[in-house]
Structure 1
Amino acid sequence: MSPDIKHGKNALKATAVWQTHQKPKQPTPLGVLAKTVSVFDTLPDSAFIRESQLVQSPKRPGIPAPLPFSAPTLWRKVKAGTFPQPVKLSQRVTAWNIGAVRAWMAAQTDGTV
């Protein structure tokens, strides 16, 4: 349902009233969050994970990711050689080996890298 189209002073007022009566967005269910986080933890080291499942995304702010940085930062780290190189699974699919990512994360917490 959209506000009535009005012109002049009342247009802004009608829009403000319409916006205040909108239903608030529902928060992401906890089950979905737990499922997203546990995917990385439950997959074997030989599995692959794509960028969208690996890093934070402004399109999905409520869904946590294993790495606390953005996609551009991920690619800067790959280019600098401070993050594992991805594997090209097909012409349009690039993914990282979960075992290599876990080893990188462990090295970061140990302070060896």
Structure 2
Amino acid sequence: MQQHLELPTTGFLRLNQILQIIPIGKSTWWAGVKSGRFPKGVKLSVRTTVWKVEDIRSLIKTAGGEAISY
């Protein structure tokens, strides 16, 4: 069962939080980032990447309620 995630106004989201909103797999997300379909993340460390909430909101708005999938 998926929980509804309330997006904060500002800040950053980790990948597991994004995938609760956009139901796709990790590899699909990373392929979309590489192709430019999804926003690039911000590297906090070698193994930690986050995305700006504003970029994720924009992605959702641009999709206009369409299913984001491949």
For Structure 1 versus Structure 2, the TM-score category normalised by the shorter chain is 0.7 to 0.9
Q: Which has the higher helix share?
A: 1
CA RMSD of aligned residues (A): 2.0
Q: TM-score, normalised by structure 2?
A: 0.79
Kindly state the Cα deviation for residue 89 of structure 1 after the two structures are TM-superposed: 1.3
Q: How does 1:1-113 map to 2 (within 5 A)?
A: 33-34=3-4, 37-38=5-6, 41=7, 43-45=8-10, 47-55=11-19, 65-109=20-64
Which whole-Å CA distance do the structure 2 matches of 1:90 and 1:54 have between them?
Answer: 19
SS at match of 1:100: helix
- Quickly say closer, same or farther: Cα 1:91–1:103, change in 2 above 3 A: same
Which has the higher relative contact order, 1 or 2, with Cα contacts under 8 A spaced 6 or more apart?
A: 2
Which of 1 and 2 has greater Rg?
1
Runs of 4+ in 1 over 6 A off after TM superposition: none
Kindly state the Cα deviation for residue 44 of structure 1 after the two structures are TM-superposed: 2.0
SS at match of 2:21: coil
Kindly state the Cα deviation for residue 110 of structure 1 after the two structures are TM-superposed: 7.2
Q: TM-score, normalised by structure 1?
A: 0.51
Which whole-Å CA distance do the structure 2 matches of 1:77 and 1:92 have between them?
Answer: 19
Unaligned runs of 5+ in 2: none
Which whole-Å CA distance do the structure 1 matches of 2:48 and 2:17 have between them?
Answer: 13
Unaligned runs of 5+ in 1: 1-27, 56-64
